[in-house]
Structure 1
Amino acid sequence: MAAVTNILGLLVAYIAWQFYVHNYGLKTNQTPRVSGYFHPAFRKVAEVFKQNVESGFERGAAFAVYHNGKPLIDMWGGWADISSQRHWQEDTASLSFSMVKGVTAIVMARLVDMGYIDYKKEVYHYWPEFGTEDKKNITVEMLLNHQAGLIGLDEKVSINDYQNNWDKVENQLAKQKPFWPPGTAFGYHIYTYGMYADALVRKVDPQQRNLSQFFQEEIALPLDIEFYIGLPKQEYHRFARVQPASIWELRFDLTSMIEMYTNQYMKIAVCMNIDNHDFNNPDVLSVGHPAVMGVGPARNLAKLFDYLANNGSIKAKRLLSPALVEAFQGPLTAKMPSTFILKNPITRGLFPMDNKQGHKILGHYGYGGSVAFADLTAGVGVVYSTNYLAMYMLDDPRALALRNVFYECFETYKREAVSGRGV
């Protein structure tokens, strides 16, 4: 009974806060703007994006598609911060939430490519202190597939600890007991996915860089991709402030909210002992947490996934070898039970995504409706990023509308390319 009372109390408080924010705190007389570039073959995509923004269906977002190193679509619009009437601009950087887990998976693949780590080897081979509490059988692959059962921490970790007291964090990660027998099921390691990956990078990299540093120096800078795992404070002025969903949209997510308070694993993972979840706080955003703190313009994440979509290389620049791109294409959890959230198969940190076209698509979703993926069949990297956290995940209608019309236009684009017209 007490649990029910607590849930109702939280709901009432949340609804009251939402009522104030959406009726008094987020009003403006200005008209939202839409800008960007699109190849003429994708005019319909631009029209859908513009309509979404101008109708208020979309509050603030960017949509980008890159094909073999070239932009097909690079659109942005709406509000980066509606409270200060700051428009979304070309260089606006948005929070990717869990889309950055896809970047983390690519970083781990790069380490495999470089010979520093092996998917099939046990984690304790690289990190001896990890081999306690029934964790000796956990392989690198199992960690990346959310099979390890390490969804939370028994002891509190602060954001400050993650940034300034890594030894404490690493010690807690190493001694943590799994919440289910590793390898018997998979469930979403919401925060710990990035934490364990970060620990492994520090162990195997000869320079002992953290995952954020490794990404910047080995991937982002060489490939001219401005994307950060942990936003530098000097770039905060570009940040698209996160907006919560409205009361009206909240009704669609009651099932998830109930699951959060009734599923034992969901409670552990969501309510993990991290002290500050204010994603609009520059001190929090600057922390290089590779499960949630990916920040940058959508186009740059699209550039990264474009490399993946083109067998790992574009114009003599290489992200991954073809063998490592192939390694992402075999679902490894298809016949395994799910403890919570994850329903679709996952392969070494990326999700094979269903699509009407029957294409090979790999990517990752982010909280609030964002999505990043590589279409290996079409050779495109696609990213939809929003700062308005609608209560959707895999089926956000804003992203789906753009994705569907993009593929309609892409068929025309391909025909024109073959005929030598319009490209």
Structure 2
Amino acid sequence: MTQSATKSTPSTTSPTMPNLAPYPARGSYADGFEPVARTFARQLERGEEIGAGFTVYRKGECVVDLWGGLADVETQRPWERDTRVVLFSVTKGFVAMALHLLVSRGQLKWDAPVESYWPGFGRDGKEGMTVATLLGHRGGLAGLDTALTMEDVTDPSRAEILLGALESQKPAWEVGKEQGYHAITFGMYARELFERICPGEDLGEFLRRELLEPLGSDVYLGTPEAFDDGIATLYPPAKPARVVKMLTNAITQRASTEARVLQQFIRPGSVMRRAFLNPQIPGDDVTVYNQVPARRAVLGWASATGSAHGVARAYLPFAQKGKFEDTRYLKAHTLRPAYRRLGWSENDLVLQKPIGWSHGFCKEERHLFSPNPESFGHPGMGGALGWADPVEELTIGYAMNLMDWRVRSPRALALCRALYDAPALVEG
């Protein structure tokens, strides 16, 4: 930062806005955003959510702050404004933020070879690969040949195992010629790159000190014990039900993204399987990421926790040319590349859909989270979302505990559509 920021923590009460959320939602919203509040309340009422939060900032002001439902079904613990949950790949957006901070400070160049910062990277076909290629999911490193366990990636004493796997990995395709979502390895490579540039610096602590705490965001990458009691329980779709839904979708909607994903998943050795199935997860239980060992670890692909409000606040300077209130966090010109599609594929080898990235940030199809192509951020498995729109100066945070089985959650999409259809945006 070029100027010191006031460090604060968001309160557990909603900002003063004139309109109370409709039942059964809680919170409030500004004039002109009623469609968002009604959509959120309807999803709760219909049982489409167990517990969730949805927050929107516009031009630095909170205009939507909603939450409701249950953080835990068994105890009936309610979802509060500050309820946190593991955010899965929304984490990648925070890692991208850290790297953008380094670029703004002149410590990292996107077009530099990764090996110029991390000499051990430059071997086995990775020689000359640029930082932009690696972070754009075009390096052919979506999977690792070395079989890993969760202990290998969460236990610091096993760090050399992971490092060896990363450095010895050969690209699965000609570098830069194809795009395949590095669902897990993105965070592994990005974290190691960060630590090579900033020796002795913890990525999670860097994010807290330089960005999240000054912004009043409750997001943590490497969540302290003090927050354990406030973590919401994750509810992924039951495996038999998920399989039935995917098979039914594959039969009735053969051209859908989910149908193509299933076709790739059942193919032994496919890029898609390699991208998601290493490290091995006991029982294919994704809730392992919401358990203490994973939450404590700095897993740059999945382990960040936070509330919807905290996610929205983290993106504030990214929607306002690097500045929020009186503090400049990044030089404005360093964010311009994120506004463009630096990489794009009409059919990503892993996600089986049109998608792109710009230096670690996701660039989605215009009909999904935002109609503005300049917008960017990162969604997470199950539906969570962190997003910034520099055109409307919007930031969006969505967190929930009932995970969806589809590549993009219909609930998140409905909330985003309601936001852009709201009179406050439509009428200017």
TM norm. shorter chain > 0.5 = yes
- Work out the CA distance in 2 between the residues paired with 1:199 and 1:388: 32
Check conservation: 1:42, 1:72, Cα contact below 8 A: yes
Alignment of 1:312-327 (within 5 A): 312-327=322-337
Alignment of 1:105-144 (within 5 A): 105-144=96-135
1:153 aligns with 2:164: no
| Partner of residue 56, structure 2 | 65
| Partner of residue 304, structure 2 | 294
| Amino acid of the structure 1 residue aligned with 2:156 | N
TM-score, normalization by structure 2: 0.83
1:265 aligns with 2:256: no
| Partner of residue 350, structure 2 | 340
- Work out the CA distance in 1 between the residues paired with 2:149 and 2:201: 21
1:393 aligns with 2:378: no
1:220 aligns with 2:231: no
Check conservation: 2:383, 2:403, Cα contact below 8 A: yes
Check conservation: 1:359, 1:378, Cα contact below 8 A: no
- Work out the CA distance in 2 between the residues paired with 1:141 and 1:254: 30
- Work out the CA distance in 2 between the residues paired with 1:359 and 1:67: 17
- Work out the CA distance in 1 between the residues paired with 2:402 and 2:316: 25
Larger CA deviation: 231-240 vs 158-167: 158-167
- Work out the CA distance in 2 between the residues paired with 1:335 and 1:36: 39
The runs of 4+ residues in structure 1 deviating greater than 6 Å are: none
| Amino acid of the structure 2 residue aligned with 1:407 | Y
Gap change, CA 1:387 and 1:249, over 3 Å in 2: farther
Deviation at 1:154, TM superposition (A): 2.1
Deviation at 1:317, TM superposition (A): 1.6
Deviation at 1:136, TM superposition (A): 0.7
Deviation at 1:280, TM superposition (A): 3.3
- The structure whose residues are more often helix, as a share, is 1
Check conservation: 1:186, 1:336, Cα contact below 8 A: no
Deviation at 1:237, TM superposition (A): 1.1
Gap change, CA 1:195 and 1:412, over 3 Å in 2: closer
| Amino acid of the structure 2 residue aligned with 1:216 | R
Check conservation: 1:366, 1:393, Cα contact below 8 A: no
| Partner of residue 74, structure 2 | 83
Aligned pair partner of 1:191 in 184, 197, 202: 184
1:307 aligns with 2:300: no
SS at the partner of 1:197?
Answer: helix
Check conservation: 1:185, 1:336, Cα contact below 8 A: no
| Partner of residue 172, structure 2 | 179
Larger CA deviation: 192-201 vs 257-266: 257-266
Unaligned 5+ segments in structure 2 are 1-22, 250-257
SS at the partner of 1:385?
Answer: strand
Check conservation: 1:197, 1:211, Cα contact below 8 A: no
Deviation at 1:200, TM superposition (A): 0.6
- Work out the CA distance in 1 between the residues paired with 2:48 and 2:389: 26
TM-score, normalization by structure 1: 0.84
Spell out, residue by residue over 1:25-47, the C-alpha distance to the aligned partner (whole angstroms, 9 max, x if none): xxxxxxx9531121133233212
- Work out the CA distance in 2 between the residues paired with 1:243 and 1:133: 40
| Partner of residue 43, structure 2 | 52
Deviation at 1:104, TM superposition (A): 1.2
Deviation at 1:343, TM superposition (A): 2.5
Deviation at 1:173, TM superposition (A): 1.1
| Partner of residue 167, structure 1 | 160
Deviation at 1:409, TM superposition (A): 2.1
SS at the partner of 2:57?
Answer: strand
Larger CA deviation: 150-159 vs 368-377: 150-159
Gap change, CA 1:65 and 1:335, over 3 Å in 2: closer
Aligned length: 382
- Work out the CA distance in 1 between the residues paired with 2:425 and 2:337: 31
Deviation at 1:401, TM superposition (A): 1.9
SS at the partner of 1:136?
Answer: coil
- Work out the CA distance in 1 between the residues paired with 2:344 and 2:335: 19
Sequence identity of aligned pairs in percent? Answer: 27
SS at the partner of 2:63?
Answer: strand
